[in-house]
Amino acid sequence: MDNEQLKCWGQAAANLTGMLKECIGVVVEPAKIKRIHKVEMEIKEDNLNQACKLEEMNIRERARLRALETELRRQANLEDIGARTLDILPETATPEYIDVNWIDTFASCAEDVGEDELKNLWANILCNESQSPGKYSKRTLNSLKNFEVKDCKMCEDIAPYVFEILEKTEYFCGILWDEEIKKRIPYRMISHLESIGILVKSDFGVTYSTYSGENIILKYQNYTNKLVNNTDSDIDIGELIGLTETGKQIISIINGFHDDEYKNKIINLFKDRGFTEIDE
């Protein structure tokens, strides 16, 4: 697809397409157009396979064929992810500012992703990075390299229960681990997400020391609430499960449902301990 054809998709799409082509040799088209060529590509691959009789090849030739087929599959995966990215990329994105080394890491981590759910996840990463270059660390990309569909589903399951506490000297992002949430999120899920570097489990209550009159900010999805401490006591808010830095970045991509009951529960947790809301 040339630049003239990309004009209808906007400058951001043209910039991203150019960067992927120049940096890692990936040629992408909008997914809606690319699907038209999918059947043609599959027919060509079938013809190639039929023409190659493995039993008539020596080991060197078979190795070359396997390497070729592996790279063809990886190339198709990357171009499909790029196509999905174009379909969701806003015109305000600035992919031209993405670090070249980040693109290299992205390609090496995403090239073996074949499942639709995970391709959509990687497309969202590339889209978000295009809007805010530097948003996702290479460590996060490498953590996602071995992500499976079940891991993605588990992150979707915990996403509605993630909240943040922001203070001058303290920061927390994670889940309130009380008896009610334990019924909704099995412990085996928590253990698995901890084992793959998404969560950090603490087996003790967490307290926050805030001075009288000090403000905190509670964030839940797109909701932000400011509260002020009307006491000078430590605040015990119970057992929490924190997200790692990688976990925070992954959850920011996941679309979890909005749970008003849980949001109000977190707010009341602080109100019951002497905090009051600040009217904007």
| DSSP symbol at 132 | S
User: What is the rounded distance in angstroms from the CA atom of residue 74 to the CA atom of residue 70?
Assistant: 6
* The predicted structure's pLDDT at residue 178: 86
Q: What is the pLDDT of residues 160-171, one digit of tens each?
A: 999 998 877 678
Best-predicted range by mean pLDDT (136-145, 198-207, 223-232, 237-246): 136-145
User: What is the rounded distance in angstroms from the CA atom of residue 186 to the CA atom of residue 62?
Assistant: 47
* The predicted structure's pLDDT at residue 54: 60
**Could you tell me which residues come within 8 angstroms of residue 95 by beta carbon, excluding any fewer than 6 positions away?**
12, 15, 16, 19, 89, 129, 130, 133
- What is the band of 107 on the pLDDT scale with cuts at 50, 70, 90? very high
Q: What is the pLDDT of residues 54-90, one digit of tens each?
A: 666 777 877 887 788 888 889 889 999 999 999 899 9
- Residue 246: pLDDT above 50? yes
Q: What global pTM score does this model have? A: 0.78
